[in-house]
Amino acid sequence: MPEFALIQMILRPADIGTSRITDLAIGTGALGDVLYSTTRFDGQIDSWDIAGNTLAPRDSDGFAIGPIAGNQPTLAFWDGQLLSGGGVSGGLTLRDLHANGTLGTASTLGGTNSFAGPLVQPVVTTLLGGNTSLHAGISNDSGIVQVIMDPAGTVISTTTISDKGRTAADQITAMATSIIDGVTFIFTASAADLGISAWQVRDAGNLTARETLRPETGLWVSSPTAIEAINVDGQDYVVMASAGSGSLTVISTGSVGELAVVDHVIDDRNTRFDGVTALATTVHQGQTWVFAGGSDDGITAFQVLNGGRLLARAHIADTTTMTLANISALAARSNGTSIDIFAASATDPGLTRLSLSIHANDDVIIDPHGANTLSGGAGADVFVMAADGQTDTISDFTQGEDTLDLSDWNGLRSINQLYFTALTGGIQITYGDEILILRSANGTDIAASGFVETDLIAPARIPQIITAGTSGPITDVPDLPDRPELGEPTPDPIEPTPTNEIYGTRDPDTLTGSDDNDLIYGMGGNDRLYGGAGADLLFGGQGNDLLRGGSGHDFLFGGAGRDDGWQSLTTAFTSTNADTLEGDAGNDELYGQAGDDRLDGGSGNDLLTGGGGRDTFVFRSGQDRATDFNPITDRIALDDALWTGSLTASQIVDRFATDTGADTLLDFGSGNSLRLDDFDDLDLLAGQIDIF
């Protein structure tokens, strides 16, 4: 399988006393590649020698414009020069780049010091006739700055393109550019609008807004931070990173600016891109790769398959010999035999160079729909299995070397949801109507106990078409009394439309779904959303909302504001405030993110992730997992119906808690258990338990 390796970490004495690197860019000159870095405005621009396995300082220069406290300058290339943004009132700086990697004279780009704030994320495009257009966002303001320059670098015109409300151009956090079938586009991501827009660059440099994706059109993200344009097998895409949802989204892009989400993956405890703030892409031996990092103190490498599917291939965690804590910037290139990755940290001074080696026999085998027999041959292979309700066979599986990607099996989030049946010379894996038979390459038996979660399940993937999953092995659970509703509904509920899409208004609404699969979007106001039966998608939007999915397998997204609610099989995201997330029947996933959250999965087998803040994990019944319980800040609330008699917290730990080695299991019998991932100190547990 692909493997990361540390090549070098460099730390200069001067780096300790200046702010951290905010952007990295690789430029190609007459003498080869050069890495450029920029810090905040108390620091400098640096160039780095990266020939062979080298990482060595080449040249440095201070900023020509500034300082601005808190601003994060970014880099772009323009006609052989290095462009840095972030100056006072939109000032931009150009530097000549010499063939040996040294920095030439810095000059202020005239005519750009008249905007409302520093310019961020600049992108440069070449226009018909030789002119150049520069487009950038305005820090903490709305709109897109447009600068048109002639071939000599003289500014011809400047203007600000306003956000029309239907575009994602308010407080732009990321931009990218791509040429699709000869047409130039730029793409803008907005944290305020929770969206992405495609803009066509006209021959004279003016922009025409094309399509915008937002939550109500299938873009389920929070706090977008980065965009990169890629091409896979002739199809163009953009990859969007979103820190708030800890997610990567692949969006197909068309020649008239059409946008469509094709894949969406979420960080889990096995990956290293939660709070993702930086992306880097490269093409290596015909394969497109994406590297992502953020607050998770490490990097995850993804291979992008045909159709835009992200396949996690390798991960690396920070150590004291690297600068991978709170990743602030990434750059990557193929050197022909491996991939070079350069990483900087928002908290650690210095710069790290890594290598990703991809072995020739490590294949990715994609299961086409239908009943198939697959073979990988020698090497550490990945088998990507389709959700088709058919019986598939892998004829030469090597346990401990080969892995499976079962993330298309809808709702599968835990190895405990799978049935394993021993076979002579292999094993059968069953999940609902999906059957996979593994035959070992050497004819020996395959043991279910030999699998770990990362052998079978890729990062959590949100399907674009919501269908019911399966719970896997289930046990009877006691009936629980109905809980009272929270508050009173507004007087006039809005009924479902015939298409089962329900949209609220800017005012407080009560939106109630049908027994079918509904899409309910609250928009503005303090809304109450009830999904009813069926596999529903609920999105609260702005405001302090209550979301309840009902009895189906639902997706619930709080949006901005203080949100309450939640249900079901696949995914719930809250805002950064103090939220209450409630499941019900079904297998739920509740994600609290930042803030002091209360996560209550209800009955069923639930996955609970509190995120930052002081969280409370509520357990009533089923087989639940708390992925990030922190005994210093978090609480466990247990229903006293789980046992008979009156017990103290210490007695509960003594009677029901077991240290499994890496985790703690609270097993109450009758199929009711709560697993605390990565927590094994039973002495701390009793003090964090509440009983209700």
Summarised one tens digit per residue, pLDDT across range 113-128 is: 566 667 778 899 988 8
Q: Phi/psi zone of residue 420: left (φ > 0), alpha (ψ -120 to 50 degrees), beta?
A: beta
pLDDT of residue 118: 72
Paired with 327 in beta bridges are: 345
Q: What is the CATH number of the domain that holds 37?
A: 2.130.10.10
572 and 642 part of one domain: yes
312 and 405 part of one domain: no
pLDDT of residue 217: 84
- Is 434 among the domain residues? yes
> Quick one: what percent of the chain has pLDDT higher than 70?
80
**Dist CA 329 CA 639 (whole Å):** 45
pLDDT of residue 310: 95
Q: Which residue has the higher pLDDT, 530 or 486?
A: 530
343 and 417 part of one domain: no
Q: Which of 357, 391, 422 is the last residue of a domain?
A: 357
- In this structure, the number of other CB atoms found within 10 A of the CB of residue 643 comes to 17
- Is 333 among the domain residues? yes
pLDDT of residue 564: 45
**Dist CA 433 CA 411 (whole Å):** 13
Q: What average pLDDT does range 173-189 have in this prediction?
A: 94
CB 196 within 8 A of CB 224: yes
Q: Which residue has the higher pLDDT, 75 or 289?
A: 289
134 and 174 part of one domain: yes
pLDDT beyond 90 at 234: yes
**Dist CA 364 CA 358 (whole Å):** 12
**Which band of pLDDT confidence, cut at 50, 70 and 90, is reported for residue 478?**
very low
**Dist CA 650 CA 686 (whole Å):** 5
**Dist CA 46 CA 59 (whole Å):** 6
pLDDT of residue 164: 75
- Residue 650's SS3 state is helix
Widest Cα–Cα separation across the chain: 85
**Which band of pLDDT confidence, cut at 50, 70 and 90, is reported for residue 445?**
very high
Closest CA to 79 of 162, 151, 166, 1: 151
- Is 467 among the domain residues? no
**Which band of pLDDT confidence, cut at 50, 70 and 90, is reported for residue 499?**
very low
Residue 217: φ, ψ to 5° = -115, 20
Domain count along the chain: 3
> pLDDT by residue (tens digit) across 241-258?
999 899 999 999 999 999
pLDDT beyond 60 at 627: yes
CB 429 within 8 A of CB 418: yes
**Dist CA 274 CA 313 (whole Å):** 16
Q: What average pLDDT does range 568-592 have in this prediction?
A: 56
- Is 478 among the domain residues? no
Tokens of 205: 């440099």
- Residue 453's SS3 state is helix
CB under 8 Å to 43, separation ≥6 — which residues?
18, 19, 63
- Is 423 among the domain residues? yes
**Dist CA 348 CA 345 (whole Å):** 5
**Global pTM value:** 0.71
- In this structure, the number of other CB atoms found within 10 A of the CB of residue 5 comes to 11
The three-state DSSP-derived secondary structure of 535-573 is CCEEECCCCCCEEECCCCCCEEECCCCCCEECCCCCCEE
> Quick one: what percent of the chain has pLDDT higher than 90?
44
pLDDT beyond 50 at 492: no
CB 346 within 8 A of CB 276: no
Q: What average pLDDT does range 365-377 have in this prediction?
A: 93
For the ranges 36-50, 82-96, 595-609, 622-636, which has the lowest average pLDDT? Answer: 82-96
Q: Of 198-212, 454-468, 495-509, 567-581, where does the model show the most confidence? A: 198-212
Paired with 474 in beta bridges are: none
Closest CA to 587 of 634, 621, 616, 610: 621
- Is 169 among the domain residues? yes
Q: Which residue has the higher pLDDT, 527 or 653?
A: 653
Q: Which of 410, 431, 461 is the last residue of a domain?
A: 461
**Dist CA 172 CA 188 (whole Å):** 7
**Dist CA 523 CA 505 (whole Å):** 6
Tokens of 45: 């621009």
DSSP state of 144: E
267 and 145 part of one domain: yes
| Segments forming the whole domain that contains residue 208 | 3-357
pLDDT of residue 476: 44
Q: Which of 357, 383, 413 is the last residue of a domain?
A: 357
For the ranges 254-268, 429-443, 569-583, which has the lowest average pLDDT? Answer: 569-583
CB 102 within 8 A of CB 148: no
507 and 626 part of one domain: yes
**Which band of pLDDT confidence, cut at 50, 70 and 90, is reported for residue 485?**
very low
**Which band of pLDDT confidence, cut at 50, 70 and 90, is reported for residue 539?**
low
- Is 624 among the domain residues? yes
For the ranges 6-15, 207-216, 469-478, which has the lowest average pLDDT? Answer: 469-478
**Which band of pLDDT confidence, cut at 50, 70 and 90, is reported for residue 69?**
very low
- CB-neighbour burial class of residue 422 (10 A; exposed 0-12, middle 13-18, buried 19+): exposed
pLDDT of residue 41: 62
* Alpha-carbon distances of 69 from 41, 118, 618, rounded to whole Å: 7, 11, 43
Q: Which residue has the higher pLDDT, 601 or 535?
A: 601
Q: Which residue has the higher pLDDT, 424 or 459?
A: 424
pLDDT of residue 398: 94
323 and 380 part of one domain: no
203 and 341 part of one domain: yes
> pLDDT by residue (tens digit) across 506-522?
677 787 877 777 777 66
Q: Cα angle vertex 503, ends 500, 507, to 5°?
A: 150
pLDDT beyond 50 at 224: yes
Q: What is the CATH number of the domain that holds 665?
A: 2.150.10
**Dist CA 97 CA 64 (whole Å):** 16
**Dist CA 519 CA 503 (whole Å):** 8
Q: Which amino acid is at 224?
A: P
532 and 641 part of one domain: yes
Q: What average pLDDT does range 277-283 have in this prediction?
A: 97
Q: What average pLDDT does range 82-97 have in this prediction?
A: 70
**N residues, the chain:** 692
**Dist CA 300 CA 135 (whole Å):** 30
Closest CA to 416 of 611, 675, 639, 608: 675
What share of residues in the chain are helix, strand, coil (percent, to 5)?
5, 45, 50
Tokens of 687: 């003090």
**Dist CA 159 CA 562 (whole Å):** 37
pLDDT of residue 496: 39
45 and 128 part of one domain: yes
pLDDT of residue 397: 95
- Is 480 among the domain residues? no
DSSP state of 443: S
* Alpha-carbon distances of 32 from 27, 335, 339, rounded to whole Å: 8, 11, 16
345 and 370 part of one domain: no
pLDDT beyond 80 at 440: yes
**Which band of pLDDT confidence, cut at 50, 70 and 90, is reported for residue 480?**
very low
> pLDDT by residue (tens digit) across 283-330?
999 999 999 999 999 999 999 999 999 999 999 999 999 999 999 999
Pairing of strands 224-232, 519-521: unpaired
Q: Of 174-188, 205-219, 524-538, where does the model show the most confidence? A: 174-188
Please give the radius of gyration of the chain, using alpha carbons only, rounded to the nearest integer. Answer: 26
pLDDT of residue 609: 81
pLDDT beyond 90 at 210: yes
238 and 99 part of one domain: yes
Q: Of 9-18, 300-309, 461-470, where does the model show the most confidence? A: 300-309
pLDDT of residue 497: 41
